[in-house]
């Protein structure tokens, strides 16, 4: 079948871009201070922030990678997702008070109070670097997706998506991010419904056929591909050498604890809430929307598997068996099966998934750069107007990095560069959760102990990443792979950070610090709001 891209689809995309830009212009008129630009005057109710968090959480990975996983394998990835409620339960009770009582703008302000200014600066610096890498990669991947669907050149797709995202984020600040996230969430949901609806409508046996066929093939199990391409259920139990159900649940828990205790994008939004109650409401609403949505997009992938079983297609078969990337399956279905008009809506949904993540990241980069670096070290006594201009300048600069980084990845034409981008994020962010856990749950530690702990965590993460990229001697790589699954790098890296930091804090001479409201053991009865 040919590609069903028509002029009406392009009109829909242009209209979507115009709507995003208009929202940026509207909210830009209200951003007169950094308090307004970064945390919206701490005035937003929980329900809108919950939807905004959902929009930023459900990225283009959800739209592309989750269906690809379910199409090629089964529901293994979903094990990480179902731990979000546990992570939110812990975070809403234990983490929110530390950020609400301090009326912070960034998560790294807590680190200075707990461990000193150098630890704060380190955390801020690696966050900025990791986010710049991340948004470049997202922009590149979504541009490739747009290119495959629309036929527009990759540079055009990079520039179009990048410029629009940059405009409404630079001009509108966090309020534009929040409200565009809201709209983008609705578009993303609509796109997912259209895809699955089309699959069910075209299958002769409808929904029943989809479920019965998938069940018979073991597509609803927690399995991974075996050596011969067959689905093999993973075992239960504890192991660092291979994937198990329990270990993946632990990885998921660590992932969500990190998200809600160290991720500036998340913390910035519940710092924008009216009250601690609103912050907790936002977290639970995000959880309520996200977990079913991830499952839904896994179901889309299952539907695609059944569809191409019923209607065999050589290209789809190549994606299933590894001759082509499984991530191509959804774009392929969109371009060959959806009618004109619907294709445009679905592409807008893909863009919405990516742009909500990128805009949140760009605003958080600006918040950290201004609050934790510029204000802290270079310009304490300047006017709010000066800082707002500086904030918009940093946001604009991050957009240039995003567009330039995406174009560099395109020109390099190397899969290794994509892998390298992901590995670099893992290295520079190594041990941050362990650092915050040391701060929250102990009364020991200072900049000396945390510095050494971070060094050990980064070295460990770098070693695992180099092995994964094949940059270590083959014998060393083989021995490591036999005893350690790289899936657990984050868990072990954070454990290394916490253990080393805690041990040194007990050995080194103690430096007395005021820890009031900085640990779970030293909180007082001060109201949160």
pLDDT, tens digit (0-9, with 9 covering 90-100), for 351-375: 887 888 888 889 899 999 999 999 9
Q: For every residue of 55-84, which 3-state class applies, written as one string?
A: HHHCCHHHHHHHHHHHHHCCCCCHHHHCCH
Binning pLDDT at 50, 70 and 90, where does residue 2 land? Answer: very low
Binning pLDDT at 50, 70 and 90, where does residue 223 land? Answer: confident
User: Which CATH superfamily groups domain 7-28+42-413?
Assistant: Sodium/glucose cotransporter (1.20.1730.10)
Q: What is the pLDDT of residues 489-525, one digit of tens each?
A: 888 888 999 999 999 988 888 877 888 888 888 888 7
How far apart are the C-alpha atoms of 214 and 164, rounded to whole Å? 40
Say yes or no to pLDDT of 1 above 50.
Answer: no
Q: What is the pLDDT of residues 9-37, one digit of tens each?
A: 778 888 888 888 888 888 777 767 787 78
Q: pLDDT: is 201 or 41 the higher one?
A: 201
How far apart are the C-alpha atoms of 120 and 117, rounded to whole Å? 5
Give, in order, the Cα–Cα distances in Å from 386 to each of 26, 175, 261, 317, 375: 21, 19, 30, 57, 11
How far apart are the C-alpha atoms of 287 and 329, rounded to whole Å? 27
Q: What is the pLDDT of residues 99-153, one digit of tens each?
A: 887 678 888 999 998 999 999 998 898 889 888 888 888 888 788 778 877 778 8
State both tokens at 49: 């922030």
Rg (CA), the chain: 23
What residues contact 96, with CB distance under 8 A and at least 6 apart?
270, 276, 279, 280, 283, 528
What integer is the mean pLDDT of 155-161? 90
Please give the pLDDT value at position 419: 53
Q: Which of 523, 447, 427, 517 is nearest to 120 (CA)?
A: 447
Please give the pLDDT value at position 471: 73
Say yes or no to pLDDT of 417 above 60.
Answer: no
What SS3 class is residue 5?
coil
Say yes or no to pLDDT of 71 above 90.
Answer: yes
**Could you state, in order of their start, the residue ranges of all structural domains in the chain?**
7-28+42-413, 423-529
Q: What is the model's pTM?
A: 0.86
Please give the pLDDT value at position 427: 63
Q: What is the pLDDT of residues 293-326, one digit of tens each?
A: 999 999 999 999 999 999 999 999 999 888 888 8
Residues 492, 496, 499, 502: what is their CA dihedral angle, to the nearest 10 degrees? -130
Percent of the chain with pLDDT over 90: 28
Please give the pLDDT value at position 258: 86
Please give the pLDDT value at position 185: 82
Q: For every residue of 74-125, which 3-state class applies, written as one string?
A: CCCCHHHHCCHHHHHHHHHHHCHHHHHHCCCCCCHHHHHHHHCHHHHHHHHH
What SS3 class is residue 232?
strand
């Amino acid at each position: 079948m040919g590609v069903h891209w028509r002029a009406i689809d392009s009109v829909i995309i242009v209209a979507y871009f115009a709507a995003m830009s208009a929202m940026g212009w509207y909210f830009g008129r209200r951003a007169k201070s950094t308090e307004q630009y970064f945390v919206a005057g701490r005035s937003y109710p929980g329900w809108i922030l919950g939807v905004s968090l959902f929009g930023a959480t459900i990225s283009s990975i959800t739209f592309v990678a989750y269906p690809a996983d379910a199409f090629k394998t089964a529901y293994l990835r979903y094990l990480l997702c179902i731990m979000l409620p546990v992570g939110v339960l812990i975070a809403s009770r234990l983490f929110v008070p530390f950020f609400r009582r301090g009326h912070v703008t960034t998560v790294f302000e807590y680190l200075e109070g707990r461990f000193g200014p150098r630890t704060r600066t380190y955390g801020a610096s690696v966050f900025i670097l990791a986010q710049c890498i991340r948004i470049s990669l997202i922009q590149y991947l979504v541009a490739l997706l747009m290119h495959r669907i629309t036929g527009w050149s990759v540079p055009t797709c990079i520039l179009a998506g990048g410029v629009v995202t940059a405009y409404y984020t630079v001009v509108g600040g966090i309020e534009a991010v929040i409200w565009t996230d809201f709209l983008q969430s609705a578009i993303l949901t609509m796109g997912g419904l259209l895809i699955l609806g089309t699959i069910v409508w075209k299958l002769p046996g409808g929904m029943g056929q989809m479920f019965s066929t998938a069940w018979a093939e073991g597509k609803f199990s927690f399995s991974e591909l075996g050596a011969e391409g067959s689905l093999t259920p993973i075992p239960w139990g504890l192991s660092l050498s291979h994937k198990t159900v329990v270990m993946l649940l632990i990885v998921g828990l660590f992932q969500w604890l990190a998200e809600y205790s160290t991720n500036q994008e998340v913390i910035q939004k519940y710092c924008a809430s009216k009250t601690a109650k609103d912050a907790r409401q936002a977290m639970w609403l995000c959880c309520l929307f996200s977990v079913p949505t991830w499952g839904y997009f896994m179901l889309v992938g299952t539907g695609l598997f059944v569809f191409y079983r019923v209607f065999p297609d050589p290209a789809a078969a190549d994606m299933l068996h590894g001759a082509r990337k499984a991530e191509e399956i959804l774009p392929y279905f969109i371009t060959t099966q959806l009618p004109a008009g619907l294709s445009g809506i679905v592409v807008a949904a893909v863009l919405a998934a990516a742009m909500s993540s990128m805009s949140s990241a760009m605003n958080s980069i600006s918040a950290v750069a201004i609050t934790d670096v510029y204000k802290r070290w270079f310009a304490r006594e300047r006017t709010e107007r000066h800082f707002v201009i500086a904030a918009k300048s940093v946001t604009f600069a991050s957009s240039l990095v995003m567009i330039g980084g995406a174009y560099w990845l395109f020109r390099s034409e190397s899969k290794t560069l994509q892998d390298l981008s992901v590995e670099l994020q893992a290295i520079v962010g190594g041990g941050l959760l362990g650092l915050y856990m040391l701060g929250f749950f102990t009364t020991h530690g200072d900049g000396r102990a945390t510095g050494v702990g971070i060094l050990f965590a980064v070295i460990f993460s770098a070693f695992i990443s180099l092995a994964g990229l094949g940059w270590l001697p083959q014998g060393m790589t083989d021995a490591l792979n036999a005893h350690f699954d790289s899936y657990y790098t984050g868990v072990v890296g954070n454990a290394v950070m916490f253990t080393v930091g805690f041990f040194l804090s007990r050995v080194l001479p103690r430096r007395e610090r005021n820890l009031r409201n900085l640990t779970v053991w030293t909180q007082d009865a001060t109201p949160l709001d």
